[in-house]
Amino acid sequence: MLLSSSEYTLLRCGAAIQSCASVQSLSSCLSTRTPPHRKLRDQTSSVQTVRVGVATACSIHTCSVQSLQAGRVLHKIVPSNLRGKSRTAQDWLTRQLNDPYVAKARRLNYRARSAFKLLELQERLSLLRAGATVLECGASPGAWTQVAVQHCNPEDSPTYKSSSPTGCVVAVDLQPVSPVPGATFVCGDFTSPDTQQRVLQLLPKGVDVVLSDMAPSATGIKEHDHTRIMRLAVCAAHFAVRHATPHSCFLCKVWAGGEVDKFLRQLSLLYEDARLVKPPSSRSNSAELFVYARGLKSSNNNAANQQDDNKDYNITKSQ
């Protein structure tokens, strides 16, 4: 049986419409997040297809495929090769893959997303300046060190400017850290007097900014972990009030808990301003907080030497 050219065109149009209908049906089944106005637009396009013929039918097929691809983008990226990993490790990997700060850190060559916490606090509080002497406790993997070098203008940094004041960045960590040009690393336990003496040899004129990102390995027992990180915070604060220059700054990471207020009260006796801050890049569901203090008082404050209920949290300027 021979078909005329018009009949043959209509036959091809019908086949194309059936193909598009199949793709649209598959799209509606797989893409559960397609908004109602998108579905209505696709249905309207199908009606127009019957009227205009093959070319429009083929274009709807393309749009349907594109809508399927767009639907996949809306889903979270799930890491592969999770076999044998714990649920906690799987959740961490999934969170990292979908974290915009992680992607931004890679793009800007920061070693970790934590760099943006210090950058945001720097923008808000102006902690760092060219010519400042900075001590960073708990430096690994070196993201905060990178930010400190960028702002303090140490002599060996890639961005060093001879026309600006020359700063100094000293970083301490238990673990060896890959070098950051412009910074001096000390590998050791900062709570040890021997390590602190090594640090002091690198800070002959005192320190203008003390940063502490120290944290213990979490055990999952909140009260125990909170007590341990507070002891690290107190250690950093002791060093700051003894060896920092007048009007210096102090920034320290803590985890929310009952001892934070007591620690903050002690700092308020020694600094002009002491408060809690939380940068936007710190996850909202995290117990992480930062204690910020500015303006170390140059004269001994008698109130600062008053004994607290827990002597471990008594921060004094006397050795």
Which residues are known catalytic residues? Answer: 253
Could you tell me the residue ranges of all domains in the chain? 9-73, 86-113, 114-313
Asked if the model's pLDDT at residue 230 lies above 60, the reply is yes
Pick the CATH number of 114-313 from 3.40.50.150, 3.20.20.70, 3.40.50.720, 3.50.50.60: 3.40.50.150
* Model pLDDT, residue 2: 53
* Model pLDDT, residue 14: 55
Torsion angle (degrees, nearest 10) of CA 193, 195, 198, 202:
-110
* Model pLDDT, residue 100: 84
207-212 and 133-137 beta bridge pairing: parallel
Mean pLDDT, rounded, of the chain: 78
Asked if the model's pLDDT at residue 157 lies above 50, the reply is yes
Q: Which of 105-119, 193-207, 259-273, 302-316 has the lowest mean pLDDT?
A: 302-316
- Whole-angstrom CA distances from 265 to 56, 105, 262, 301 are 72, 35, 5, 13
